[in-house]
Structures are given as structure tokens and as C-alpha cells.
Structure 1
């Protein structure tokens, strides 16, 4: 068969089992029934696209309907997920056609000004207009050597996460508007995210939760597991931290003090630290955090005008950007952006441009992560008016580095 004989079709709920099998094969893991049923809870067939060959699903791309926190605002965002092509059907432009169809449908729907995803490989998505918008710190902490000081105040409670579900969700929702890179957790998302399946534990314990309560109630929580270990010299247990969410510095210190002092453990891992993670400034020996930088969220602007007007800006900005977007040509052209911390406006203009860039570069700086100066130094952003890059870079920054607590 030729590529043209394999049409893209909307998925149906009945496609889920085949889609799950394709994803398991694409990402090289077993298809476990309990995990599969948990993922069914958040599957949106009306936002999924399939390609069939002789009735069998051989390619798939989907999206979740969730909001994304951006600097100063929360916006609807196409959360792209479950993208895969069967190994028998590679090099037939199926991925390209799926991504182009998905982008076009999301743009035409007009509900979501941006799309966001986690990339299995960084080389794939820039050609579809996605820019690397946030990075994360992966921490491998030697607990005793790091030297976290004693913390006082408040009360800690531990237990199965399900018993604290209301408190976890309430605190997460309360902090969401101020945390760029966080995604909303509507409907059944907490059911899915708190699912705890033996096949995903890698020899560790069930997931546990700890709450920090201050004078005003719950001010923080953490989710974690432990994995035991012993040598002739004693215990070598590991704490695997999944989320640390804190509304106050006291809550943050107490939670990390707890996590780094669990009996019979010596190390802790945390894959979702932010680049400005406060733990770096709490420990006596930061080297014992052994931080390494990894990529996190990739952002694509579906509607340049709506996306740039939706977020807020750290310093006043008035700039004209000449944007190139080969896949969504409605974005191509000159856009005048004006805004500050209180609001923003972005519209087409015939006036002279201050900067020139590809749409993926606007996606890269959209969450306030990578600096526009760095993109200009890499030759990805052109400065047409002296000083325009520095002024615009200052505006696109934000008070917090973007971070994300989950891979979706």
C-alpha cells in the first residue's frame, strides 16, 4: 500500500485496546491491564486520530483537554500525547500527516492558543513548530552529605494518597495559577494520577503521601516511594520522590527534611525539580544533589496573536516581531505585542519589525524559560533594531522558572 491509501480517521472508544497495544509496542513496555484501564479514564477518543492498515491501527496521535499555567495566566492548551507509529509503517510520512492534521484541527477549533507536549526525542518536534520551553533538574541526593538543616513548626501527616485526595487536589488547584508549566487536573485526572500499580514500582513500595499543616491548614504535600537496600555496612535505602508541592517556605523545608531523613534510607531521587529549585539553596553541600538538566515541556503557538496576548510580561513590552510559520501560515507575518504585568495585546501590523524569528522560538520563550538573548546568540532570533532583543527578553522572563510535575 502507498501512504495515500492509509487515511487518517477520528478514533472511537472501541479503539482504545488497539491504541494501548500500539503505544506499548512503540515505547517498549508491557501492556499491563491495570495501567491500561487507568489510562482509559483520561483517553479522549474525540481528540484522537488513528491510521489503519487492513483494519489494524498502525499510527496514532491524541490530545488531552487541560489548561496550562503560563506567566500571569492560565490558558486552555492542547496537551499532545500518545504519538506513535508501528515499526512496520515508518518512513511513510504517517507521523508528519498526523501532526499536521492535529495542529490544523486545534487551530481551527479556536479554543486553545497553544499546544504542549513531552518529547520522546528532541529532534522530532521542532519541525512541527515546537520549541523547548522548559527544562527540569533531575536530583540524585546523598541525604546525609547534603546537610539539610533542622526545621521547626507545623505538623506532618502520612498515609496512602487516596486518603488525602481532597487535600492534595485543593492545594494543587490553589497554587496552579502561580506555577508556569503546571497543567490542570480536571475530571478523572486525580483518579488516574493516584493509580498505583505493582508493575510500575520497579521493586519499590506503594506510593505514600505526607501533608504539612501550618496555622492556616494544609500548606504542602509530597508523594514518594521507598526502595530498600542493604550492604555489609548497613542500610542503603532510596526515597523516590514524585511530587513536592508547597505553598510556604516552612512547608517546603519541612517536607524535604522529612524526605531526606526517612529511617534506613541514604539517598533520594527527584526527576521534576525546577531550574530554580529552592533545595539548591537549603542544603549545606549543593554538590550532593548531583543535579543534571533534562528537557521538559515543548510548546507550540497555535494562534500567535491570542497566545501572546494571553500571558503577562515581567517588564513593559512594545515590540514588532516578524514571525515565520510554514505549517500554520495564518501565524506568518508581523505582530505588534504590547503588554506588562496587568495585561497584553497582540495584533497584526504593517509597521517595521524589531525582531524576526520562527514560531518555534516564540514557543521556546513562551513560559518564561529559555532567554531570548540565548536564542539570538544561537542565530535563531534576528535583531533588526539595536537593543530589541534585550528589551524583549526582559519582558518574556518571569518570577518563577517553568516546571512540570508530570509526564502526560
Structure 2
């Protein structure tokens, strides 16, 4: 194991402000007191790691304890965040030492999976993280977008402040998220983190609002959004920024988007965390006018390979032996027999020959069901050792919904 030239310490609660100052410097943020306090509420000091040079804090990493949605269920996952190294101490092996220590700590904590958002995609593959979920960034001109006319009763919409309807938001999020790989569980602390809305961070826009859809059985959908005024010589060019649209009914989804795309004086819409299978692209008459741009979202690292593979479900029955290599956690290296299907799964050491071979990064890319085995085989990073193994196992690793991610943590 690579060790840091400077000692790694476990954080204390009183280190949070100093960590925040370093991270604000690294990510070019100003200090916003209200947001800072919501971040303090989710901080878990015992999961924070620090490196000091004398008394100066020069590197940090942390993790949050949350459940992550996976195909067919959820799994305890370390949500890695607050990672950074001071510009005065780059290229000294500090990040390498922190990430290796953190992976060991996560495994000892019994979490089979780690997940993160990457500031730059090239950073984390060397630590075994694979790109498991992507997102669409949508920016469109609402004058160029039309939805089908309502057919029958599509329910009722109401506007409110999100904090006033937290119980409805949480209930809908939990219901819909149970069938969406990549969504993270939200308790009260995390809802406060998601909904914090300091005026200094609005960039001239309104406060965040929620539109709720009421169907025959009550509230079954919501959309979080804000608007910003802008005028040009030709008239209004306001912007509607959408944070989340979460519904359990097709009628609710259509009704919410119909409103969001027709707000008076708003001519543009921005939705930066749309799912790759976002239904909106199949509703509007000119999907290219949404300008969808595919970018990365969640990076996943299998910390305990057999436990992780047994924790998810598989779209079709599968029985395959995978030879795995893991340079950082050698406990994962070896041949593993995966047997599973839509209802159950198991993964145990195998004695027979392997059908497929890959490194642990590939397993992270496959884990949420958004990447195909044949795609990875075409890169050369996953190898078919038994003819027909790809055709057999490939459909099993997929899922009926693409993975997505709602909030950056």
C-alpha cells in the first residue's frame, strides 16, 4: 500500500470549517453561511480524512453513509465527497494515499460499494471507479417545443414552497426512486441539503418553487424549478431552470412539463440532470431543440465484489464465472461465480475456469445496468474467455430503467 509522506488523520467535528475553507478554495466557491450549515449537518467526522503539513490542512476526503438504488433494490454505499489537495501540495502522492486509505476504511465498514461525482473524469479510474451512470444536459428554446395536447383529465397542478410540502416530496421520491438505479436515499438532513436556497446563490433568479401534480389518488408528482428574468430588444428571454421532475404517473409527468415549458415571459429551459432515458425527449415534437448533451454522472467502485454483485438483481437468469483483478483491494482478485436473476442473486468463489475477465473498474461501470458488456468488450477492457458468455451474460446486467442521479453530493 502506498503511504502518504505526511500522516493521515481522522477528522473531528471541529475540523469542518477548515475543511470547508480549503474546498471552497479548490472549487472556486465563496462561503455561503446557510448552505455551509446544511453541509455541516450531513458531515460525518469519523468518515473524514485529513492530511496536514505542520498545522496547515493540505488534503481532505470524506464519505457520507447512504443507501444507493441498484437494479432490484438498494445497497449501503459510501458516498465519497470533499476530496481535494491544496495547490501547494499537488503531485506528492497525497490524493493517492487518501483514496487507498478510504477504500480500506469503506471495506472495513462493511459497505460493498462506493460512489462519487467526479470533478474530472480522468481522476478516479486509477482507483477502480467506473462510469456507471450518465446524464443529459438539456437547454432548449421553449418557443420551439410543443407537447401533445391534453387527452382527458390530467389532474390538477399546485404551486408552493418546497419546504412546505416536504412530506409529499419525500413520499414521491421514495416511491419512484425504488425503481431507479442511481438514486440515493434522502433523510431529513439530506432533504435540507437538497432544498437549501440562499439568495446569494440564485444568480438573480427567483427562489426555488415546487409544482405538484394531484391525480385521482392524491399528489403523485413534483417538479422543482426557478425562473430568471431577461429582456432583449425583441422581447422577453426569461429562463426556467429545472432541478428535478419526479412523478409516479404519466399524466403527472406530462402536466408538469407542459407547465414548465409554457411559463409566461420564459423562453428558455435548462435541465442539467436529466436521465438518459428522460421521457421528455419522446414527448416534445422537436427533441433536437432540447439540445441534449451526454455527460458523466455517477462513478461507482465495487469495494467488496461478491457482496456487491449479490446485492443487485439481474434482468435475466445468469450463471457466469468472472475473473476479476483489483490492484488496490486484492481480496477482490480472483474468480467469482455469479448466479442470479430478477428475484435473487449469489456470488461465491469459483474453482472452475472463467467465462469473462475484467478489472474492478469494469464491474463498476456495469453495476447499475447502464453499460453493456459488449460495449466494454469492444474497448478491450473486458474479455470473453468462453464463446457465448457475452451473449449469455449481457442481457442480465441491463435493467428496464437506465441509471440516473438527482443531486450532486
- Superposition pairs of residues 145-156 of structure 1, within 5 angstroms: 145-151=144-150, 152-156=153-157
Task: Say whether the 8 Å CA contact 2:220–2:252 is kept in structure 1.
Answer: yes
Give the equivalent residue in structure 2 for 1:116: 115
Cα pair distance change 1:67/1:4, threshold 3 Å: closer
Task: Say whether the 8 Å CA contact 1:66–1:186 is kept in structure 2.
Answer: no
1:397 aligns with 2:402: no
- Residue 202 of structure 1 deviates from its aligned partner by 1.6
- Superposition pairs of residues 81-230 of structure 1, within 5 angstroms: 81-110=81-110, 112-151=111-150, 152-230=153-231
TM-score using structure 2 length: 0.97
- Residue 5 of structure 1 deviates from its aligned partner by 5.0
* Unaligned 5+ runs, structure 2: none
1:29 aligns with 2:33: no
1:355 aligns with 2:356: yes
Give the equivalent residue in structure 2 for 1:243: 244
Q: Distance in 1 between matches of 2:76 and 2:214?
A: 32
- Which string of whole-angstrom CA distances, capped at 9 and with x for unpartnered residues, describes residues 319-372 of structure 1? 000000000000000000000001001000111000000000000010000111
Q: Distance in 2 between matches of 1:191 and 1:126?
A: 31
Secondary structure (helix, strand or coil) at the match of 1:269 reads: strand
- Residue 150 of structure 1 deviates from its aligned partner by 2.6
Aligned residues: 405
Secondary structure (helix, strand or coil) at the match of 1:153 reads: coil
Give RMSD over aligned pairs.
1.0
- Which string of whole-angstrom CA distances, capped at 9 and with x for unpartnered residues, describes residues 245-298 of structure 1? 010111110110010011111110001111111111101111111101010000
* Unaligned 5+ runs, structure 1: none
- Which string of whole-angstrom CA distances, capped at 9 and with x for unpartnered residues, describes residues 9-63 of structure 1? 0000000110000110111111222221121111111110011112121100000
Task: Say whether the 8 Å CA contact 1:146–1:287 is kept in structure 2.
Answer: no
Q: Distance in 2 between matches of 1:276 and 1:4?
A: 42
Secondary structure (helix, strand or coil) at the match of 1:308 reads: helix
Q: Distance in 1 between matches of 2:11 and 2:63?
A: 12
Task: Say whether the 8 Å CA contact 2:32–2:198 is kept in structure 1.
Answer: no
Give the equivalent residue in structure 2 for 1:383: 384
Give the equivalent residue in structure 2 for 1:39: 39
Q: Distance in 2 between matches of 1:343 and 1:352?
A: 23
- Residue 393 of structure 1 deviates from its aligned partner by 1.4
Give the equivalent residue in structure 1 for 2:292: 291
- Residue 171 of structure 1 deviates from its aligned partner by 1.0
Task: Say whether the 8 Å CA contact 1:118–1:297 is kept in structure 2.
Answer: yes
Task: Say whether the 8 Å CA contact 1:69–1:177 is kept in structure 2.
Answer: yes
- Residue 390 of structure 1 deviates from its aligned partner by 2.3
- Residue 4 of structure 1 deviates from its aligned partner by 5.0
Task: Say whether the 8 Å CA contact 2:322–2:358 is kept in structure 1.
Answer: yes
Q: Distance in 2 between matches of 1:85 and 1:29?
A: 15
Give the equivalent residue in structure 2 for 1:324: 325
